[in-house]
Amino acid sequence: MQDRLVAIIAHPDDEFMAAGLLIRAKSLGYKTHLISGTYGEAGRIKGQHFRGDREEELRSIRQKEFDVSCLLLNVDRYHNLGLPDNRAADWDLETASRGLEDILINIGPSIVVTFNRDGGNHHPDHIGMHKITVQAFGSLPRGDYKLYFNTLFPRNFSQIHAMLELPAPLMEKMTIDDNEVSAILALTNEEHLMKLSVLDIYRSQFPDERGLYYKMPLRVLEAVSRYECYENFDKGNVNHPPERSDTDVVLFDLLL
Ligand SMILES: [Zn+2]
C-alpha cells in the first residue's frame, strides 16, 4: 500500500507548522491527509471576534480558506472532528479520540504528526488535539504507524543556530532540549516558498502581513519556517537512540 502521512491539527491554518513535511511527503509519493479538530469558527477576522450566529459565517470563510490551502499543499483528503472551537475544556476527549481512531484505522497511516505536549503555543485546543492523538495512538496496535510531534528547535544543536542566525534571546524562546528533537526537516527553496504561500490564503486571520501568524517579524518567520523539527513519540522505534550528542541530529529527507 502507498505510504500515508497524516497531520493532525486543531484549526484551519495550523497546517502551516507541518506544511513542509506535507509537501515533501507528497513529492516522495506519499498520500497525505489533514485532520482538523475544529472549523475555527471562534476565531477572529480582521481583528474582530466572531460571536454567536456569526460563527457560522466565519466557519464557512475558514473552511473555504482551508480548502484552498489543501489544494495548494496537494493534500489528498481532509477530515474534521467537528469539535467546538476555542472550547477545549468542553471537549469529550474519550469520544473525540475514538472518532479519531476510526479515521486513522480507515486511512492506515505510516506517519502521524501533531502538536507536542505544549501545543506549540500553549493554545488549549492544540494541547487537546495532542492528548486526543496520543490517546488514539495508544488504542491502535503498536508498529502500525509512527507518531511524531512538531516541536521547537534543539537548544544545543549548533548547526541550527548557524542556519537561523537569530539573536540569542529569540533562540532561547524557540528552543527545547536536544533530546526532544528526533528529526529536522530542511526545506528546499521551492518547498519553503510554497509553505509560506499558505499564509497568504488565510486572509481572515492574517490580513496584513505573513509575520503576524507567529506574532514575529517577517524576517524571523521566514528564517524559522524553513526548518521543521519533530519528536518521535515512541523513541524506541526511531533509527537513532534518544541519548545522542548534537552532532547525531541529522537533516532527514523524510522522518525515519
Ligand atoms: Zn491553532
How many angstroms does the Cα of residue 14 sit away from the middle of ligand 1?
Answer: 5
Summarised one tens digit per residue, pLDDT across range 239-248 is 344 444 333 3
Residue whose C-alpha cell is 547525531: 248
- What domains does the chain contain, in order, with CATH numbers? 4-252 (3.40.50.10320)
> Cβ atoms within 10 A of the Cβ of 186, count?
17
> Cβ atoms within 10 A of the Cβ of 78, count?
20
How many angstroms does the Cα of residue 177 sit away from the middle of ligand 1?
Answer: 23
How many angstroms does the Cα of residue 244 sit away from the middle of ligand 1?
Answer: 32
Summarised one tens digit per residue, pLDDT across range 79-106 is 999 999 999 999 999 999 999 999 999 9
Task: Answer yes or no: is pLDDT of 156 > 80.
Answer: no
How many angstroms does the Cα of residue 44 sit away from the middle of ligand 1?
Answer: 12
Summarised one tens digit per residue, pLDDT across range 37-79 is 999 988 776 556 656 567 888 888 889 999 999 999 999 999 9
What percentage of the chain carries pLDDT values higher than 90?
48
21/18 Cα distance (integer angstroms): 5
As given in the structure block, the three cell numbers for residue 228 are 521543521
> Cβ atoms within 10 A of the Cβ of 29, count?
8
Summarised one tens digit per residue, pLDDT across range 192-222 is 999 999 988 887 776 665 655 666 777 888 8
Rg, Å, the chain Cα set: 17
> Highest mean pLDDT: which of 7-11, 41-45, 46-50, 158-162?
7-11
How many angstroms does the Cα of residue 133 sit away from the middle of ligand 1?
Answer: 15
How many angstroms does the Cα of residue 151 sit away from the middle of ligand 1?
Answer: 14
As given in the structure block, the three cell numbers for residue 105 are 484505522
State how far the alpha carbon of 182 is from the alpha carbons of 131, 149, 252, in Å.
20, 9, 10
